[in-house]
Amino acid sequence: MKIPSPCISVCKFKNGGYCVGCGMTKKQKRKFKRLEGRKKLRFIEALRIQQQEVGLKANWDRAYRRRCRKKGVDCPLDRAEAAASPELPPPNPVPAPAQ
C-alpha cells in the first residue's frame, strides 16, 4: 500500500523549524521520501506525538484524511487508531434468578 506524505501543502517553517501545517522539519520531509512500508507508518505515529509536543492544532488529521481520500488510498491514521483501541471483552453473562 502506498502511504502519502504527511505534508498537507502548507509548508511554512516557523515554530522552531517545524512546518505549521504538518509539524515536520525539512530534514524529516526528506527522510519520509526515502522510507518504505511499515517505516512510513511508524514515522507517522511518531509525527503525531511530535505534533502534540510542538503545539500543532488538530486540523492536520482532517487535512491528511482528505488528502488520502483524494489519492484513493486508505488513511494510515485510521489503521493506527484501530490498532490502538483495544477491543472490549465480551460481557459477562447475567446469572438466571434463583427460583
pLDDT at residue 96 in the model: 53
Show the cell assigned to 68: 488520502
Is the model's pLDDT at 81 over the cut of 60? yes
Cα 8 from Cα 67, distance rounded (Å)? 7
Cβ(65)–Cβ(73) below 8 Å: no
Predicted model pTM: 0.75
Only one residue has cell 485510521, namely 78
Reduce the DSSP state of residue 14 to 3 states and report it.
strand
First to last CA, the chain: 59
Rg (alpha carbons) of the chain, rounded to whole number: 19
Percent of the chain predicted with pLDDT > 70: 79
